[in-house]
Structure 1
Amino acid sequence: MSQRSFVSPGRFAEGLDHWTARPGWSCVVGYDGDQPVGYAYGAPLPQGSRWWGGLLTDVPADVPADVTAETGTRTYALSELMVREPWRKTGVARQLHSALLATRREERATLLVDQTHPKGHALYRSWGWTTLGDLRPRLADAPLFHAMLLGLPVAL
């Protein structure tokens, strides 16, 4: 299989089915009038999650050793954030991101950014995300990602 198959419509549909079946899954969809402009979704990582199993770099010395331990309520994984072309670079991505994470009760969020997309990585860094290390998911043809973390305010 080629790397392209990792981002195929079929793979997306499988991933969406996987994420929507998770307890705590949430999604936001943005509209401009009656036009959908983008969406963001994710779910909490379950206890003992395999999310961190593809971590290829050592955890930095200034990060707690248990950073990859999941309790089922510790970390929200932002799986997808997409904005349609006409609405890109208008602030919609930030609005979707903020709306999705605003009511989360987890202490932090994580996401993966494809390392061939440095602008996306820089954008998340500008929103306060920090890079934990390199990660390759244990999925066929998965690209190399930056694993990122963001502390979340406790929602009331």
Structure 2
Amino acid sequence: MATDITLRHYTGAQAPDLRPMLLEVYTEVYADAARTDPFASPERFAEGLDSWSARPGWTCVVGYDGDQPVGYAYGAPLPEGSRWWGGLLTDVPADVTAETGTRTYALSELMVRTPWRKTGTARRLHSALLSPRREERATLLVDQSHPKVHALYESWGWQTLGDLRPRLPDAPLFHAMLLPLPQASDY
């Protein structure tokens, strides 16, 4: 598959127009998981997408091969008092999970359609989403039943903070991970 992927950046204002394509790609990428895991259902994802894309500061990067979407990454800053850390099962100092609204960017989704996997596209989407961020760090959750995904993120510099189970129906056990981001003063 071609690796000449064009990356396009979007904001929450463009989310309604992107929504059908984001759902279509998700449904394709997670088709097998959705057959047996209620947490992976397209309906649950659509609810999460609507919630995330309505958040202040939501950004999305979509990769295209010609006019064909090959994958995307999106997220948003965690607000002050965020519930993100509410399902953390590992004891960590309170200051680690204290959110200010500008401290942590949460990478909510990163996915690449099968024909474009192992082409570097995931890394490019990841970097394009996070490189313009001004927060001090990013966070994401990796399903613990996917050790290869966890290892991939570790190879990109992510560190495991601990175990987290979101307070959502049918949620799996995740690794909560953190990645330091360049400070705004470094630019």
Task: Give distance in 1, aligned partners of 2:124 and 2:159.
Answer: 19
Pair 1:33 & 2:33 matched: no
Task: Give distance in 2, aligned partners of 1:122 and 1:21.
Answer: 31
| Structure 2 counterpart of 1:77 | 106
| Structure 1 counterpart of 2:170 | 141
Tell me the SS of whatever aligns to 2:145. Answer: coil
More helix by share: 2
- Counterparts of 1:107-146 in structure 2, within 5 Å, are 107-146=136-175
Identity across the alignment (%): 85
| Structure 2 counterpart of 1:44 | 77
| Structure 2 counterpart of 1:20 | 53
Q: CA deviation at 1:3?
A: 7.2
Report runs of 4+ in structure 1 exceeding 6 Å deviation: none
Tell me the SS of whatever aligns to 1:131. Answer: strand
What is the count of residue pairs matched by the alignment?
A: 151
Which sections of structure 1, spanning at least 5 residues, go unmatched?
none
Q: CA deviation at 1:116?
A: 0.2
Tell me the SS of whatever aligns to 2:179. Answer: strand
Q: Show CA shifts across 1:79-112 (max 9, x none).
A: 0001000000110000000000010010000000
